[in-house]
Structure 1
Amino acid sequence: MSDTQSQIEPRPPSVAALFLERIEATPESEAYRYPVPPASGSGPDEWKSYTWTQAADRVFAVAAGLMDLGIEPEQRVAIMSNTRVDWILADLGVMCAGAATTTIYPGTNAEESAYILADSESRVLVAEDTAQLAKAREKRAELPDLAHVVVIDAAGEPVTDPADPEDWALTLDELMTRGRGYLQKHPDAVTETVRALRSDQLATLIYTSGTTGKPKGVRLPHDNWSYMGKAIAAQGLVEPEDVQYLWLPLAHVFGKVLTTGGVEVGHVTAVDGRIDKIIENLPVVQPTYMAAVPRIFEKVYNGVASKAKAAGGAKYKIFLWAAEVAREYAKVTQDNHRRTGTASAPTGLKVKHAIADKLVYAKLRDAFGGRLRACISGSAALAPDIGYFFAGAGIHILEGYGLTESSAASFCNPGEGYRTGTVGKPLPGCEVRIAEDGEVLLRGPGIMQGYHGLPEKTEEVLEPDGWFHTGDIGELSDDGFLRITDRKKDMFKTSGGKYVAPTEIEGRFKAVCPYVSTILVHGADRNYCTALIALDEIALMGWAEEHGLKGRSYADVVASPEVRELVGGYVERLNENLQRWQTIKQFRVLPRDLDVEHGELTPSLKLKRPVVEREFGHLLEEMYAGAREK
């Protein structure tokens, strides 16, 4: 048995058990930081902390409060809230009560929220505020299983309905008060429940945000999370001294697994899900690591590039030079590390890199707080050129890979010797093989039990011997690094019989065009490829001011011939490095950016291709009008 494997086997049956171990090991160490907005409503937030003991006090009160409400092991308790420290403590409370957390994105509408609550048979809903409470009230008649709604932050508003003597709502403080009273009568209730947990009991029910049809509930037992905590620690990427900045949606498996790693490793986690506060928070929190989705890194890169371009002349030339030096430096050092084990570079390149560091890279690192050792990127593919840029600038983006069905983390790049463009090696305990058609198959302790109430759907992806079909196409290097080339269902064949991987082309375009927000490459059963391109409003409007379009609206700017010419130039640059059948023959600039609200992106910012193709089908047909289809 290898050293890393021995750290995973044997393991406690649950994260709740890991949590008890953490409280005992480092009771007075800082566990979580959270922002408190100023009472005046203006000025910077004040950051406060919980030690592990203080966190445990709240977690146990939540757990006992749920027991007092009659919640029994494996019954579902839903959480519908933005990312905040209360989400993490509520989730730990649910698991310490022996129950299972159903996660719901706070942006989910009332109808789909009701579907998830009903399908999961959730008995309690933990709602962030009265707006989330209102969704449940609207659909109350359709939710016979839902007995209580717990409101985290009522902002001084009443949560009970005075017209309803049997109202089901209470505040989180009221739940914890009930829990503390319950613990006075039954002081060992929580610890005894945790000790009685079995590894195969349901811990989490996460609904996938599918592109078509109703979302499916993925059943993840306690052992999945216990394994993940141990595997993350064994990977060695995070340490007890680390400070993690956590803003990702906790309703998504990527955010959820980060909370598990924090419990096992015992580092500090600063929690704030407000995306508009990221730039403000980073210099305050000064994280040593954080996780993000590729869209965030693309936005940072595009913002830096457009700011340099707006400065004009020499500054933009310096940025372009520094960007190319960064990419060259990253490629050379990574290649040398792969061949020799040392990330070395020739003297001339080192000198250029040192100059670029003083002029450009150091300022970029300062914007991330100045202490960032590594970023974890997942959920979608990161364009390699953007990855190389950040790597050369000293912001190391370690791509990882996993799915909801594999508890998020199956692969991750090592801290030393990581390879941009790959998702790294499997975590300890995870097996991988590539099927004949190129599909990535996974097996191990992180794989789900199945889809909730959908045995036929489970059988489609999960073989009797435990191999899970990911639906992703990939390639394994001789030394075990995985590269994902595309989603199996997203790849298409042109009418000329050529296969096209749209994600690869889309990633390349994001690397060459600093103004793009989202791009969709289309061409299934067509005789050439086309693209729908949405532009980033902030970056584009900065360009517009410098090019005679100042004062015009975003909609006017994107419809202008100047922007079409601008984007056309980048499409030509893209086509220069593509095979003939991959090239974009026509494109259309969309009148607005794609977003979650219109259902075109998932909450984790993945593109919903069928939705976009349906919404803008008239533009696609326009690009093929008169073309001879084969």
Structure 2
Amino acid sequence: MTNITRLFDFPYYQQEKYVSIPDALVTKQNDVWVKTSTEEYIAKANAVSRALLRMGIEKDDKIAIISTNNRTEWNIMDIGALQTGAQTVPIYPTISEDDYEYILNHSGSIYCFVSDEEVLRKVNLIRYKVPNLKEVYSFNEIQGCKNWNELLQLGEDESNQHLVEERKNKVHSEDLATIIYTSGTTGKPKGVMLSHRNIVSNVINSASRIPFEAGKSRALSFLPICHIFERMILYLYQYYGVSVYFGESIDKISDNIKEVKPTVITAVPRLLEKVYDKIYSKGSELTGIKKKLFFWAIDLGLRYEPYGANGFWYEFQLKIARKLIFSKWKEGLGGNLDLMVSGSAALQTRLARIFAAAEIPVMEGYGLTETSPVISVNDMRNKGFKVGTVGKVIAGVEVKIAEDGEILCKGPNVMMGYFKDEKLTNDVLENGYFHTGDIGEIDAEGFLKITDRKKEMFKTSGGKYIAPQLIENTMKQSRFIEQIMVIGDGQKMPAAFIQPSFEFIKEWAKIHSIEIGTTNEEIVSNAKVIERIQEEVDKLNDKFGNWEKIKRFELTPDIWSIEGGQLTPTLKLRRKIIMEKYIDLFHKIYS
């Protein structure tokens, strides 16, 4: 059996252990799911490697990949490039042209593979400023642009396969595999250098936590593959012989889930919030006994504790709720979904409870790009799951809590450093420990709990510490609030900018026959809307100490988005940009 020490060993391991999976990688093309077997995956990756060698690719050259959606071609290019000793540089498609220019220049990428016309347009706008870029290829057929199929054709001749094998043999586990540029909430993107060992160790050490039936599971992949979370998961799927279907887009996830009927998906908390809100909304439309049963099940779910901790009577009721109500939730999610993996941001505890009650448990994990990414993860088996935590630390990784509460991590998963930035590397790596910038604690049973971002915590003028993420996550439980950013550094009290859930508010206004206007500007200045959101804030404020309560807020008419600059590609708040954008509202609150 192939000994996995480098990322390109995964498909070969899959081929040996599970023979050849017919639907190893599946992408929808012209409304048809096109399957690629393990065998074909490897054959095409080798063709790409042979072509790259003929194109003069040297060890340590950089190849950028920019795709708006996850697709089979991405994985083939990744393995094909890595086998030559080159490194892949995945780039978020939604970042600005300036960031495209910076990353392509900073990484020294000599080839760039793009998915579609929009990405190509952005690359072409800055291409003349990137002298090292030799050529751009596209996955889609685009007139006037070289197509990636040209590489497959160039690599058809197998006469130089022995040179590919030679290159593969010269790639060691400690060698650099990829540079992932983290969007960050401030400043220029940082190039995180991850070795083969960093990611391979993370896959192997996380594998035992995931209850897959090897060779029999099916996944739907839609989180950006350019982010280390989804990418590491894709290697993990290959390790477990999971069939991977690539979602068309976030907008079509609901349709894709019904078509694919996956047993597992990965998601970010914001997406799970939207799934729950949609279910809740449909339940609200029910009448009579059906409506009563729906909300009885919800109430039961919100009190869920694992491993029968609530006693016999609760478990008996839960069994009924699962049969009558929660089974329909599962049907709506394809019927086979028995596991969701969540990362990137904190999951609301109510969602952890309700989905576990519905027998679609969310395995919440924790990690960073710099840690490849997993540091800890929940596991429903062997009492490894605890609501409100990010699980226990995975094997091979060591975590300790610094005196100021910061989480420090040590292990084979910790990055090599930041590309071309020794100072920044030395700032976060000390005695082998990576300083995560997150504040947390480990309880008596070994569960890790994240309380906030070190850099995001602030003090009011009264000297009280405020942990904004904790407050924001609580406030987002309201269906009236889509996004919120807590402010108040150095001020007398905390306040907030709130982007209302315009869609839900329009529904609410219609039901109650309230005139709120039609534009977002009219809605945010409507007295009835402000009054209703104040009620929500007051109710949720009860969960906090007096010094933490949101004393004032201002509503923003903009939809906070990646394109608008308010959110990072992983949907975290860009606090500095939001503050600059709404500085007038800040002065209005505190003047």
User: Relative to structure 1, is the Cα distance of residues 95 and 174 closer, same or farther in structure 2, using a 3 angstrom cutoff?
Assistant: same
CA distance in structure 2 between the aligned counterparts of 1:410 and 1:90, rounded to whole angstroms: 28
Matched, 1:567 2:553: no
CA 1:320–1:529: 2 relative to 1, 3 Å: farther
User: Which residue pairs with 2:79 in the alignment?
Assistant: 92
Q: Partner of 1:446 in structure 2?
A: 413
250, 262, 286: which is aligned to 1:275? 250
Residue of structure 1 aligned with 2:260, choices 276, 280, 285? 285
Match of 2:179 among 205, 208, 233: 205
SS state of the match for residue 8, structure 2?
Answer: helix
TM-score normalised per structure 2: 0.95
Q: Distance in 2 between matches of 1:613 and 1:313?
A: 46
Percent identical: 35
Per the TM alignment, residue 222 of structure 1 is displaced from its structure 2 partner at its CA by 1.1
SS at match of 1:15: coil
CA contact (8 A) 1:225 1:407 kept: yes
Alignment partners' CA distance in 1, 2:317 and 2:13: 49
Question: CA separation of 1:591/1:359 partners in 2, compared to 1, >3 Å: closer, same or farther?
Answer: farther
Q: Is the 8 A contact 1:516 1:535 kept in 2?
A: yes
Per the alignment, residue 15 of structure 2 pairs with: 23
Equivalent of 1:14, from 6, 16, 34?
6
CA distance in 2, matches of 1:278, 1:20: 30
**What does 1:181-580 correspond to in 2, within 5 Å?**
181=157, 183=158, 185-240=159-214, 241-311=216-286, 318-328=293-303, 330-331=304-305, 334=306, 337=307, 343=308, 345-416=310-381, 417=383, 418-463=385-430, 465-511=431-477, 513-549=478-514, 552-555=517-520, 556-580=522-546
Shift of 1:37: 4.4
1:230–1:327: structure 2 CA closer, same or farther, 3 Å change rule? same
Residue 114 of structure 2: aligned partner: 127
Give how far 1:101 is off.
Answer: 0.7
Change (3 A) 1:618 1:311: farther
With over 3 angstroms needed to count, the CA separation of the structure-2 counterparts of 1:268 and 1:139, relative to structure 1, is same
Counterpart code for 2:379: P
Q: Give yes or no for contact 1:249–1:273 (8 Å, CA) kept in 2.
A: no
**Structure 1, residues 212-258: CA drift from partner, whole Å, max 9, x if none?**
11101000011112212212323343342211111000111111111
One-letter amino acid matched to 1:96: Q
Deviations 1:425-450 (A, max 9, x none): 11111111000000000011111000
Partners in 2 of 1:616 and 1:312 — Cα distance? 42
Q: Distance in 2 between matches of 1:206 and 1:461?
A: 17
Aligned twin of 1:32: 24
More displaced, 137-146 or 567-576?
137-146
Contact 1:31–1:266 (Cα < 8 Å) also in 2 = no
Shift of residue 145, structure 1, vs aligned partner: 1.2
Is 1:61–2:35 an aligned residue pair? no
Contact 1:32 1:271 in 2 (8 A): no
Aligned with 1:186: secondary structure?
A: helix
8 Å contact kept, 1:385–1:508: no
Query: How far 1:279 moved relative to its partner?
Result: 0.4
1:545 aligned partner, one-letter code: K
1:143 to 130, 142, 164: 130
CA contact (8 A) 2:207 2:236 kept: yes
Question: Partner of 1:164 in structure 2?
Answer: none
Contact kept, 8 Å, 2:248 with 2:256, in 1: the verdict is: no
Q: 1:105 touches 1:251 (CA, 8 Å); kept in 2?
A: yes
Q: Distance in 2 between matches of 1:524 and 1:88?
A: 44
Which stretches in structure 1 are left out of the alignment for 5+ residues? 1-6, 39-44, 160-169, 338-342, 626-630
Structure 1 residue 32 displacement after superposition: 3.0
Instruction: Give 1:110's aligned amino acid.
Output: E
Q: 1:232 to 1:37 in 2, by over 3 A?
A: same
Instruction: Report the residue type matching 1:200 in the other structure.
Output: E
Unaligned runs of 5+ in 2: none
Query: Structure 2: how far apart are the matches of 1:327 and 1:32?
Result: 37
> 2:524·2:555 contact (CA, 8 Å) conserved in 1?
yes
Query: Does residue 1:118 correspond to 2:93, yes or no?
Result: no
Spell out, residue by residue over 1:374-425, the C-alpha distance to the aligned partner (whole angstroms, 9 max, x if none).
Answer: 1111000011122212222222011101101001111111132311211111
Asked if the contact 1:492–1:524 (Cα under 8 Å) also holds between the matched residues in 2, the reply is: yes
Match among 81, 90, 93 for residue 67 of structure 2: 81
- For residue 176 of structure 1, what is the aligned residue in structure 2? 152
Deviations 1:91-147 (A, max 9, x none): 111112221110111112222101100000001101112332233332223212111
C-alpha distance in 2, partners of 1:354/1:66?
57
CA shift in 2, pair 1:30/1:429, >3 Å? farther
Q: For residue 141 of structure 1, what is the amino acid of its counterpart? A: Y
Measure, in 2, the Cα distance between the counterparts of 1:458 and 1:359: 54
Q: Distance in 2 between matches of 1:53 and 1:550?
A: 61
Residue 27 of structure 1 and its aligned partner are, at CA, apart by: 3.7
Report the secondary structure of 1:139's partner residue.
helix
Return the alpha-carbon distance in structure 2 between the equivalents of residues 300 and 248 of structure 1: 15
Q: In structure 2, what is the Cα distance between the partners aligned to 1:145 and 1:238? A: 44
Contact 1:534 1:590 in 2 (8 A): yes
Secondary structure of 2:374's counterpart equals coil
Output the CA distance in 2 between the equivalents of 1:223 and 1:467. 17
Partners in 1 of 2:352 and 2:518 — Cα distance?
32
Contact 1:32 1:50 in 2 (8 A): yes
Per-residue CA deviation, residues 238-293 of structure 1 (Å, 9 max, x unaligned), is 34221111100011111111111122222111112500111001121111111110
Q: Say whether 1:623 aligns with 2:589.
A: yes
Q: Deviations over 1:434-480 (max 9, x none)?
A: 000000000111110000000000000011x3110000000001221
Does structure 1 retain, via aligned residues, the 8 Å contact 2:497–2:556?
Answer: yes
Moved over 6 A (4+): none
The aligned length equals 586
Contact 1:235–1:428 at 8 Å: present in 2 too?
A: no
1:19 Cα offset (Å): 2.6
CA 1:188–1:554: 2 relative to 1, 3 Å = farther
- C-alpha offsets along residues 129-176 of structure 1, whole Å, 9 cap, x if unaligned? 233223333222321211121111025x231xxxxxxxxxx2111111
Aligned-partner SS, 1:519 = strand
Q: Distance in 1 between matches of 2:531 and 2:296?
A: 24
- RMSD over aligned CA atoms reads 2.1
Deviation at 1:317, TM superposition (A): 5.0
The amino acid that maps onto 2:74 is: W
